[in-house]
Chains A and B, each alone.
Chain A
C-alpha cells in the first residue's frame, strides 16, 4: 500500500503571510490522486485541494496551491494570505484504486 510522510508536525505563520506544508509519498502505481484535507477544531474533515497524478499542471483553489513533483513524489501545499480561519490540522493523502492513505498531519497555527 502507498505511504505518506509529513515531516512537519507543527508550523505557525503570521496572518496575511504565506506558508508551505510539505508532503512526500511512495506508490507503485502510475495512476493515482493526491489530496490535502483540513481538519479544524470542529473535527470535520474538509477537502482543500486535489491533484490527478496524470496532470502536469499544479492544482489551485483560491489561496491554496500545490507544487506537485511527480518524479520526486512530492506534493506540497502553499497557503497564501493566511487567515485566522486556516488554523487547523492539515493532512496529505494519496488514493490508488479505492482506498486512501493519510500522513500524520501538520498542525498549522495562524497568528494575528
Chain B
C-alpha cells in the first residue's frame, strides 16, 4: 500500500516562527500536494508539485512556500507563522497518468494539526 507520512500529528508554534511541515511518500509518485482543512471551508489547495524542483500555486499560496528537492519529499514552509495559519494541514501524493486506472486518485497522510499562538 502507498504510504504518505507527515512528520508531526500535532504542532504548536509561536507567532513569527519559521515552521516546516514535512511529507514523505514511498511510492515514487510524481505529484505531491499540500492542502489546508478548515471547518466549513473543506480542503483548500496551497501548493502542488508535479516533479522535483517544480511547484505550482494552488488557491491559497499566500504566506506559504514549498520545497521539493527529492521526489519522495515535499515540504511546506511558513516563513513567519501567524495565528490565521492555525489549521489542519494535509499532504497527498498521486500518480496521474490520465488513463482512468485505479491509481488515478490522491493518497493522503494523516494530517498535522498546527496551532500558532
Contacts and interface: CB of A to CB of B under 8 A. Distances in A.
Nearest to B44: A102
B59 interface: yes
A110 to B, nearest CB: 20
Interface of B: 31, 33, 35, 40-45, 48, 50, 56, 58-59, 88, 90, 92, 94, 96, 98, 100, 104-106, 108, 110-111
Interface of A: 1, 4, 6, 9, 31, 33, 35, 42-45, 47, 50, 52, 54, 91, 93, 95, 97-105
B34 to A, nearest CB: 11
Given A44-B110, A98-B48, A99-B48, A91 B42 contact: yes
Contact of A100 (B98, B106, B111): B106
For the complex of A and B, the 7 pairs showing the least CB-CB separation, nearest first, are: A45-B108, A104-B42, A102-B43, A43-B111, A102-B42, A105-B42, A52-B100
B40 A9 contact: yes
